[in-house]
Amino acid sequence: MECNTVLAATRRWVSEVVIGLNLCPFARRELVNGRIRFVATDANSEEGLLTALQEEMMHLEQHPEVETTLLVHPDVLTDFMDYNDFLDAADGLLVHLELDGEYQIASFHPDYQFGGTNAADAENYTNRSPYPMLHLLRERSLERAIAGYPGTESIPEQNVELMNRLGADHMRNLLIRTLSPG
């Protein structure tokens, strides 16, 4: 898949969905200040994705000015259950590299489904994205952001309420729009 197309859709998703709906109150500042790294990998296997993930962790280690990385992988783990199973390997890589406690990995996928929900439930859109991706976050930065923002413990619940209020059809259409350049 064309890298520029994937990254453009991902940027639109961050701007229109994540920031536009205020799903993450910390994202706007990082985007405006150019501290979000957007990377699309051409990996087509889990091993290739683990290699790309390791490279991005090393990039974050060497570039403290970058707060967070969205590693988009459109050609691997397109099935959500396979993706969900892979998250253990991704977390295992953090442990292997002795970076657990330094970074955490948040997960986003076009077919994301929380346990105990139906695939069609609107609340799943809090973690649905145009392409499968891994979001690498600096734990220290996240802790600082949480400490400076009141009520962070209620963000997930507020996001679920918003998704349910907007509805699955609205969210599906919004996600589809991020795939269209214009």
pLDDT digit string, tens, across residues 5-49: 999 999 999 999 999 999 999 899 999 999 999 999 999 999 999
User: 78: exposed, middle or buried (C-beta count within 10 Å: 0-12, 13-18, 19+)?
Assistant: middle
Beta bridge partners of 103: 100, 138
Q: Which two tokens stand for residue 147?
A: 């400490």
Number of structural domains, the chain? 1
pLDDT band at 93 (very low <50, low <70, confident <90, very high): very high
The amino acid present at 155, given as its one-letter code, is I
- Report d(CA 89, CA 108) in Å as an integer: 16
pLDDT at 153: 87
Reported as a pLDDT band with limits 50, 70 and 90, residue 92 is very high
Instruction: Name the residue range of residue 122's domain.
Output: 3-178
Torsions phi, psi for 45 (to 5 deg) = -145, 160
Q: Is the pTM of the predicted complex or chain greater than 0.75?
A: yes
Q: Of residues 178 and 147, which shows the higher confidence score?
A: 178
Q: Is 36 helix (H, G, I), strand (E, B) or coil?
A: strand
DSSP state of 119: T
Q: pLDDT at position 1, please?
A: 66
Task: Give the pLDDT confidence score for residue 182 in this predicted structure.
Answer: 67
Residues 124-176 pLDDT 10s: 999 999 999 999 999 998 888 888 878 888 999 999 999 999 999 999 999 99
Please indicate whether residue 182 or residue 114 has the higher confidence score (pLDDT). Answer: 114
Span 88-100, mean pLDDT? 97
- What's the CA angle centered on 118, arms 112 and 76, to 5 degrees? 25
Q: Which residue has the higher pLDDT, 3 or 84?
A: 84
- pLDDT averaged over every residue in the chain: 96
